[in-house]
Structure 1
Amino acid sequence: MTSTNDRVVPPAARRRRRPTKKGVVLSAELIVETALRLLKEHGADALTVRRLGLALGADPSALYRYFRDTDDLLLAIADELIGRTLRTWHPTGDWRADLRDLGLRMHSGSLAHPQAAVLSSYRVTGRVHEIGAVETILGVLRGAGFPDPEAVRIYHAFVDQALAFAALDAASIALPRAAREAEAGVWRATYARLPADTHPHIAATARHLMADMRRSAYPAALDMLLTAAAARLEEITQHGNAETLPGRTSGTSH
């Protein structure tokens, strides 16, 4: 797509009144859904006006009524993935369990659309679902008792960790099957055969490496982050206020 800012219409008007050749009514939501499907089936090269137009049975130029360019569409895709996660998440009031559940859902949602996740996981959309996610996560942390600076710091670590693992694991899934199998085979063909006299630590843990390296490290990393956050909250609670901890500016000594 090329930039055509003056042709993008307001959201309320973003609906084709007449069905396309395939009998569907065009909308921003339908375009995003179709783009997700094409990305999943054909990879990043599918994200073109021509391919989308063909899949929708619409004139490619009609897509400019909904999105300025491909990047605008990509931001909408990223925001939709966030929205899908939020719609399936139901908080319980236990901040640690709620964030763990949300993080795992964010990760699995990205892996359900690996090509889209690789392209969009590092983007900031500033759109409705992302705004909702930021508000929700900060609300969980502030509700748990974290002071605002700590809530933001933990929010930052939580989100970046989830998105980084999503991008890493999605990139692996997006590889051709032969490449994935070849990489998995390296642990058996190379690491498992290294002799103990030259590589004692690898040799001692080889069977564990072969088992563990086939899985994503995200659940373990998420648990470590939440354990550290819980310890930090206990520390804050014991001191009454984050500003009174040793090393911070405070009128109270400890």
Structure 2
Amino acid sequence: MPTEPLSKKRIVAAAIELIEREGADAVSMRRIAAELSVGVMSLYNHVPNKDALLSGVAQTVLGKVEFTDDPTAHWTERVRLQARAFRQLSRDYPRCTMLVLSRELHSDVGLIPIETALATLRGAGFDGPEAVKTLRVFIDFIVGALLREVGATPSFAPRHTERRAGPVDADLFPTVAELAPLLSGGDPDEEFDFGLELLVRAAAAHAKRAPGEPDALSEAAAPSPEQLT
């Protein structure tokens, strides 16, 4: 069977496979050439440098997001579908998804999920600033959930307390000691759905406030006259 001609698509696919096996730090033009059994200089006919290759990986992976959007569904259900679509991408390509999140993509593919999400929120009645802020909150949650799953968990919110050198001192940290079994376990899918539902319900409650009603979120964030003196 003849070998498929070298192309940018084939080079990017090899990089994706390598990243998922060994991480982004393993990628180099020489390593990709070895993976494809070609001369390293032949890669430069299709990809100018490593940075362009990694951008190609990010764009390709992000382009695999499949939004099963239903325009007839309630906007809250559409938000759930969109969030879970991105989460599925992170499950299929966990290491490449981290690359997607760390790079600024200068292409239309990077705008597709943003356009879909913002249009959904605007259709739900959110004005421009509210739609953007709400989208960012959901993105922060999804990214945070992904970081926890891949083990990049902040030290103040451990998932695996059993990795400590010894047991938690119950006298100093009674609540942590009591809940240690829960902190060291948990179902990532269940926790994601729980957090997503909290955000959806909060966004729905915010959207339902009466026209002209003060924005409680903005009021809560605004300093009181006493705080300004």
TM bucket (normalised to shorter chain) is 0.7 to 0.9
Counterparts of 1:58-207 in structure 2, within 5 Å, are 58-85=38-65, 88-92=66-70, 93-171=73-151, 183=160, 185-186=162-163, 190-191=167-168, 194-195=169-170, 197-207=171-181
Q: Is residue 239 of structure 1 aligned with residue 211 of structure 2?
A: yes
Counterpart Cα distance in 2 of 1:211 and 1:166: 16
Structure 1 residues 146 and 200, CA gap change in structure 2 (3 angstroms): same
For structure 2, the residue ranges without an aligned partner over 5 or more in a row are 154-159, 220-229
What is the deviation of 1:245?
A: 4.5
C-alpha contact (below 8 Å) 1:239/1:245 kept by paired residues: no
> Which of 161, 182, 185 is matched with 1:208 structurally?
182
Task: Report the alpha carbon displacement of residue 171 of structure 1 after superposing the two structures with TM.
Answer: 4.7
Is 2:82–2:117's contact at 8 Å kept on the other side of the alignment?
no
**Matches of 2:138 and 2:117 in 1, distance apart?**
9
Cα RMSD (Å): 3.1
- Matched residue type, 1:134: I
CA distance in 1: counterparts of 2:95 and 2:44, whole angstroms: 23
Question: Secondary structure in 2 aligned to 1:109?
Answer: helix
Structure 1: gaps spanning 5 or more residues: 1-18, 174-182, 249-254
**Structure 1 position 73, deviation (Å):** 1.6
Preserved CA contact (<8 Å) 1:121 1:167: no
- How many pairs align? 210
Q: Whose helix proportion is higher, 1 or 2?
A: 1
Residue 89 of structure 1 aligns with an amino acid whose one-letter code is F
Post-superposition offset of 1:63: 2.1
1:228 aligns with 2:207: no
When the two structures are superposed, what TM-score results if normalisation uses the length of structure 2?
A: 0.76
Question: Could you list the per-position Cα deviations for residues 154-190 of structure 1 after superposition, in whole angstroms to 9, with x for gaps in the alignment?
Answer: 12222233234324433559xxxxxxxxx56337962
TM-score by length of 1: 0.70
CA contact (8 A) 2:149 2:188 kept: no
CA distance in 2, matches of 1:188, 1:219: 32
